[in-house]
A and B are shown apart, each in its own frame.
Chain A
Amino acid sequence: MPLKARDYKSGIKPIWCPGCGHYSVLNAITKAMAAREVASHNTAIVSGIGCSSRLPAYVSSYGFHGVHGRALPLAAGLKVARPDLEVVAVGGDGDGFSIGGNHFLHACRRNVNIVYIAMDNEVYGMTKGQASPTSPESWLDGKLTPHGTEMRAFQPCAIALASGAGFIARGYSGDPNGLAQLIFEAMAFPGFAFIHVLSQCVTFVPEQTAWKQRVHPVEGTPATAAEAAALIHADDGFGKGILYRNPRPVWPRMHPQAGGGEDPRAGFAL
């Protein structure tokens, strides 16, 4: 009998606030796993630190809750070492774009075949309400930035595109079915697949409940970087859907056979 989405839940009760967007992301992940009929023991969900990064324990699969900002390298190491596994990295905007920002760039470039779901609430939820890289410049409630961030907000999808990601999508926590579909597609994509999820923090940015009115589907799925760039830059940041899909060779490009080539011992002998 095929498993249902709820069979992919671990049964551990999330620590999240009622109404937190991350619940919907959890639901969407388990729905996508059910739809793909993945064997949960062949799946590993890897995260960093943050409210969003607590997600792996809530899924019935293998998981790794690591340190802040390093989910992507940990996931890449796992996938390269164990290509038989389905590896999904998850985390927040602070985790992925601030402390882990460098890894984000290089994960897009390297193109290891993993899915990366960034739950963006434009705030550091776990540390109770500081500005994140994606906080709007004008946001005055950040606890360390009473005058606003006075910095441009980070553009995850544009940066993913510029860094070489082959699959870029945006989802919304208020639309878990649409998000589940994107995750399904991302898992099927050969290569690094990035999903930017607008996932509201009801506690520290309650005004995000108004995102409901702002999100809108994007038209078409660009298959060239130029079209994708035009779409991403013209969009207001609330366009849902696949923003770019264009597979390229995944890393590593070859899996060497043990025993091939010269025996390294021979090179030392006198």
Chain B
Amino acid sequence: MTTLTLAISGSGGAGAISTGELLLRLFAEVGGYGMLKKTFSPQIRGGESAAILRLGDAPVSTIPATIDLLVALDWQNFARFADEVPISASTLVLHTGTDVPPPGVTPDNLLTVDAPGIAAAADSGWLNMVFFGMLASGLGCTCAAAETLLRARLEKHDDAVLDAACRALQAGFAQALPDPLRELLATLPVPAATAPGQPQRWLASGNQMAALGALEAGVRFVAAYPITPASDLLEWLAHHIDHYGGHLVQAEDELAAINMVIGAGFGGVPAMTATSGPGMALMSEAMGLAVASETAAVVVDVMRGGPSTGIPTKSEQSDLNLALYGMHGDAPHIVLAAQSIADCHFTAAWAVHLATRLQTLVIVLSDQSLGQSIQVIDAPGSDCPRAAVNSSQEAEPYLRYRDTDSGVSPLALPGEPGHMYTADGLEHGENAIPSPRARDHRMQLDKRWRKLADWDFGGHWAELVGQVDQRPVILCMGSVTATALEAQAAMAAAGREVAVLSLRLLAPLPTKQLATLLASGTRLLVVEHNHGAQLWHYLRSLLPQLAFESLALPGPAAIQPRDIYTALEAANAT
């Protein structure tokens, strides 16, 4: 596989992100692969942002630590994210020359491109489009295709604006490229058009895939309060839920959002909310209500750096403890983790299925990196799991919280004559009447636990890549999965086989399957993107017989494949 990693950076409003998105789409449309990660500062305007793209001739699912090319639209505030866009001796850096790199940033290969002058000569101010044109030509794309994309993206603007942007693009495209740039871009082969019969390819983010998966599984009600990095998931839903005949409510806060979701779920309509750590913390009390009242509810947590406001625009996996333990009382529920951008679709759909089928709360953990990065993926099948609202048709007397063998009780929906009941967060007997009796409490606690513990979750509980037998195993979840797979590939190239086990079902933890599967592994390295080794502590507590090792690194910097194989090598030496 040949890949090229480039970053486009600039101050807010310079158009770094949109240039990156256009380039990725252009390259993908002609058959290429790629992925784009966005990095923002928290400022709304005037803050810096960067698009980091990796383009390839085969599927790409990680962004490496080193970049081949940096296009600095300007250098304002660049220092603030220099960590995430590390310039090495081999990085080619293009800038406009109108300002200079900040102290400490001393690129060896710095080229000046008079983009403002080229734009001005074309009677345009769009210097980012000059670079887009140059990159498009260097990658072997046509100017017409680039222009079509640009026009589609700017369709809301008036013609004068659009034309000016296109003139800059054309001027950039017509430039003779400086040799180092031409040579660098030429290393990436022009992608071959995808052969017919191949799966359809999409360009999508994890947040979009989670939203689509939820809708395709049957979600018809969403209530939420905006929070980064879940807002774009909600914005996508807001624009597409109409197509499914559903409703999205922008609630006054997360307390309202989760209670609205529970109300809809009680009515038999599959419902979800999406949030991030601080919002899920606010939902904690009502999540316990969903458990106790046995009402289906799906909460998607797109994790960011915490605690408190933390690092709201950057990825971390530090809400695991909150998802597992963040409720008062004994509140068994389901926690899932999406494994990749594409898998956000399946995992969200599965969450909807399980929540409705088992009448309980399902938390889906995603993270900013999965949620907001966009990637060329194979289109997910629409044969995903579906909501299973199983209305009761059982003999009298109707007992809403009947102590069944499976633990799943008959659910009547409002509107059904003869089965009326009051759902309750107060402990209750089988007949739903509040009861503080020890017998009833014990029975209902057992029932709510049993329906999850005894459920056959099938093969979806994890994805195993490679073989465990007499090999080291990397255990992970979420966006770390792609990194682990890359580490695995790098180690394989060096003649060392390791297995990667990405966990999709975190609670109830499939301890039997894990114990059986992992028994023959030589090393069990738990890799996670947080400071407290939350996943490692959790696995250790439920599988004390296994010797888990930990690699836990907090955000905002992403874990790199080399962190993983260094950890495996280092401990190996001892």
User: Do residues B202 and A268 form an inter-chain contact, with CB atoms below 8 A?
Assistant: yes
A82 lies within 8 A of B415 (CB): yes
Partner of B414, one of A44, A74, A255: A44
CB contacts (< 8 Å) of A80 on chain B: these are: 221, 247, 249, 260, 264
Contact with B along A60-78 (1 / 0, CB 8 A): 1111111101101111111
Q: Note all chain B residues with C-beta closer than 8 A to A260.
A: 242-243, 245
Specify which of B28, B241, B259 is in contact with A74 (CB 8 Å cutoff). Answer: B259
Tell me the bound Cα distance from A75 to B267 in angstroms: 10
Segment of B420-428, B478-486, B521-529, B566-574 engaged in the interface with chain A = B420-428
Interface string of B183-208 (1 = CB under 8 A from A): 00000000000000000111110001
Interface string of A74-102 (1 = CB under 8 A from B): 11111111101100000000000000001
A216 interface hit (Cβ, 8 Å):
no
The answer to whether B106 has its CB under 8 Å from any CB of chain A is no
Q: How far is the CA of A81 from the CA of B432 in the complex (A)?
A: 23
CB distance from B232 to the nearest CB of A (A): 14
Give the chain B neighbours of A45 by CB distance below 8 A.
Answer: 422
Cβ-defined contact, A75 with B422, below 8 A: no
Partner of A64, one of B202, B263, B376, B433: B263
Say whether A76 contacts B260, CB under 8 Å. yes
Stretch at the interface among B109-117, B170-178, B250-258, B532-540: B250-258
Contact with A along B431-442 (1 / 0, CB 8 A): 011100000000
Contact A270/B201 with A74-B262, A257-B245, A260-B243 known, Cβ cut-off 8 Å: yes
Tell whether A42 is near chain B: CB-to-CB under 8 Å: yes
Number of residues of chain A lying within 8 A (CB) of chain B: 55
Instruction: Give chain A residues whose Cβ lies under 8 Å from the Cβ of B422.
Output: 45, 56-57, 62-65
Q: Which residue of B lies closest to A80 (CB)?
A: B247
- Proximity bits, B223-237, A CB within 8 Å = 1, else 0: 100000000000000
Hey, which chain B residues are within 8 Å of A257, CB to CB? Answer: 245
Q: Are A85 and B415 in contact (CB under 8 A)?
A: yes
Render B130-165 as a binary contact track against A, CB cut-off 8 A, 1 for contact.
000000000000000000000000000000000000
Complex CA–CA separation, A263 to B423 (angstroms): 37
The list of the 6 closest CB pairs from A to B, nearest first, reads A77-B263, A77-B260, A258-B245, A63-B422, A81-B264, A78-B263
**A252 at the binding interface (Cβ < 8 Å):** yes
**B418 contacts A82, CB within 8 Å?**
no
Beyond A40-B420, A80-B247, whether A73 also contacts B260 by CB under 8 A is: yes
A2 within 8 A of B: no
B498 at the interface (CB under 8 A from A): no
CB A48 to nearest CB in B, in angstroms, measures 9
Inter-chain contacts of B200 with A (CB < 8 A): 269-270
Separation of A45 and B417 alpha carbons in the complex (Å): 15
- Interchain CA distance A43-B379 in the complex, whole Å: 43
Q: List 16 A-B contacts (CB under 8 A).
A: A39-B417, A41-B420, A63-B422, A65-B425, A66-B293, A73-B257, A74-B266, A102-B256, A256-B241, A264-B243, A265-B212, A268-B202, A269-B200, A270-B25, A270-B200, A270-B203
Q: Please state if A78 and B267 are interface contacts (CB–CB under 8 Å).
A: yes
Nearest CB of B to A238, in Å: 31
Q: Does A207 contact B (CB under 8 A)?
A: no
Complex: A81 Cα to B262 Cα, angstroms: 11
Point out the residues of chain B lying under 8 angstroms from A62, CB to CB.
Answer: 412, 414, 420-422
| Residue A160 CB within 8 A of the other chain | no
Complex Cα distance A85/B414, Å?
8
The answer to whether B259 and A73 have CB atoms under 8 Å apart is yes
Given A41-B414, A81-B247, A264-B212: A106 touches B256 (CB 8 Å cut-off): yes
Question: How many angstroms from the CA of A194 to the CA of B251 in the assembled complex?
Answer: 20
Decide if B414 touches A77 in the complex (CB within 8 Å).
no
Confirm or deny: A236 has a beta carbon within 8 angstroms of a beta carbon on chain B: no
With A and B bound together, what is the CA distance between A22 and B206 in angstroms?
50
How many A-B contacts are there with CB distance less than 8 Å? 183
- Cα–Cα distance between A13 and B276 once the two chains are bound (Å): 43
| B563 CB-CB contact with A under 8 Å | no
Question: Is there an interface contact between A67 and B260, defined as CB atoms closer than 8 Å?
Answer: no
Contact call A76/B425, Cβ cutoff below 8 A: no
Question: Which residues of chain B come closer than 8 Å to A70, judged between CB atoms?
Answer: 255-256, 259, 286
Q: How far is the CA of A256 from the CA of B237 in the complex (A)?
A: 14
Contacts of A73 in B (CB 8 A): 223, 251-252, 255-257, 259-260, 263
Chain B residues whose CB sits within 8 angstroms of the CB of A252 once the complex forms: 247
Q: Are A258 and B263 in contact (CB under 8 A)?
A: no
Q: Is the CB of B245 within 8 A of A63?
A: no
Central interface residue in B202, B208, B261, B266, by most chain A CB within 10 Å: B266
Contacting pair B414 A264 (CB below 8 A): no
Chain A 6-32 interface 0/1 with B at a Cβ cutoff of 8 Å (1 = within): 000010100000000000000000000
Identify which of A72, A81, A265 contacts B220 (C-beta below 8 A): A81
Query: Chain B 277-301, CB within 8 Å of chain A: the 1/0 string?
Result: 0000000011011000100000000
**What chain B residues lie within 8 Å of A259 (beta carbons)?**
243, 245
B271 within 8 A of A: yes
| Shortest distance between the CB of A14 and any CB in chain B (Å) | 11
Complex CA gap A57/B432 in Å reads 9
User: Does any Cβ of A come within 8 Å of B92's Cβ?
Assistant: no
Known: A70-B256, A78-B263. A57 touches B433 (CB 8 A): yes
- B520 located at the interface, meaning its Cβ lies under 8 Å from any Cβ of chain A in the complex: no
Are B263 and A42 in contact (CB-based, < 8 A)? Answer: no
Nearest Cβ in chain B — how far from A103, in angstroms? 6
Asked if A265 contacts B289 (CB within 8 A), the reply is: no
Do A74 and B260 have beta carbons less than 8 Å apart? Answer: yes
Task: Let me know if B252 and A255 touch, CB within 8 A.
Answer: no
Instruction: Give the most central of A85, A263, A264: most B CB within 10 Å.
Output: A264
A-side contacts of B220, CB under 8 Å: 81
B215 within 8 A of A: yes
Partner of A103, one of B221, B244, B246, B252: B252
- Would you give the shortest CB distance from B350 to chain A, in whole angstroms? 19
A242 at the interface (CB under 8 A from B): no
Identity of the chain A residue whose Cβ is nearest the Cβ of B28 in the assembled complex = A270
